[in-house]
Structure 1
Amino acid sequence: MDKKYRIMIILVLFFVLVLIRAFEQQLFYDPFIEYFKNDYLYDPIPLFSGSKLLMSLIFRYGLNTFVSLVIIFVAFQNKSFVIFSIKFYVIAFIILSIVFFIILKGELAHGYLFAFYIRRFIIHPLFVLLLLPAFYYKQLRLREII
């Protein structure tokens, strides 16, 4: 695929990630959106349905992950990068969601910041911003060896 088309596709896919974020209130159940925007320092955590929240997080993380994997594939055309990314995303989601729900079960007893940032890693496609430069560097190193 021509480099110019790959860049255009990647830009469109990043726009899709922006759209997912723009329509988060309509697409996903997340009572913590408003909580972390407003008086989270003074208000108790909102009531939430754990199963509904988990399903919404899975759906949102899955959408972001799928788009991110396509970005990685289009950028590098390397299946091993995509396979590594899939494993990374699955393990990250399992660990982050377990930690997030443990913190919620404790009702943010040790502060809100840790829960805020754990939730941010779950709901936003931050990992693609870490993986793209890592794979780029890996690809440069592979070219040097050959």
Structure 2
Amino acid sequence: MKKILSAILVLLLVLGLVSVRYWETTLFYDPLLVFFEGAYLNATRLPKLDFFSLLLNISLRYWLNSALSILTLVVLFPRKGIFKISLLLYVALFVLLIIGFSVIVMTYDQHLSMLLFYVRRFLIQPIFLLVLVPAFYYHHVLSKA
């Protein structure tokens, strides 16, 4: 019964992540969504944007995805250490990525478009979850051996 409840909870958390992605245009301010649909190929500068609003919305989206991801990891691997290391990793990665994102946006040049794309992608998508689930599973398997 506990495994069924855990599976349902993980499914709901994944649906939460999908919902954030599905309603991204209505929930978050991000003029770079349209920019990266193709305009960046010929653009020499970024579209007009409100930097602080963009930073706030990117941060909000990151932490919403992170909360859902960390909860998913805790349900899959119910150990206190998993929560602590996950939270530490998400905080450290946020600090590094948001600083990089800010510097790239403030000093944008056309040759930085792909770097901006990928740094922003790591901030707005739950990519770390895809890395941490196999890593924690491998650790779980090794600790049982």
* TMscore range, shorter length: over 0.9
**Structure 2: gaps spanning 5 or more residues:** none
Maintained 8 Å contact 1:108/1:115: no
Runs in 1 of length 4+ with deviation above 6 angstroms? Answer: none
2:62 corresponds to: 61
2:40 corresponds to: 40
How large is the RMSD of aligned CA atoms in angstroms? 1.2
Q: Distance in 1 between matches of 2:90 and 2:31?
A: 24
2:19 corresponds to: 19
Q: Percent identity?
A: 35
Using structure 1 for the length normalisation, give the TM-score: 0.94
Question: Matched residue of 2:108: which SS?
Answer: coil
Letter in 1 for 2:142: R
Q: Distance in 1 between matches of 2:110 and 2:41?
A: 12
| Deviation sequence 1:16-56 (CA, Å, 0-9, x none) | 10000000011111110000012211123111111111111
Range with greater deviation from structure 2 (110-119 or 65-74)? 110-119
1:84 corresponds to: 85
Q: What are the residue-to-residue correspondences of 1:1-146 with 2, within 5 Å? A: 2-43=2-43, 44-144=45-145
**CA displacement at 1:135 relative to structure 2:** 0.4
**CA displacement at 1:109 relative to structure 2:** 4.1
**Structure 1: gaps spanning 5 or more residues:** none
**CA displacement at 1:2 relative to structure 2:** 1.3
Maintained 8 Å contact 2:104/2:112: no
Q: In the comparison of the two structures, how many residue pairs are matched? A: 144
**CA displacement at 1:117 relative to structure 2:** 0.6
Maintained 8 Å contact 2:74/2:82: yes
**CA displacement at 1:65 relative to structure 2:** 0.5
Letter in 1 for 2:74: F
Question: Matched residue of 1:111: which SS?
Answer: helix
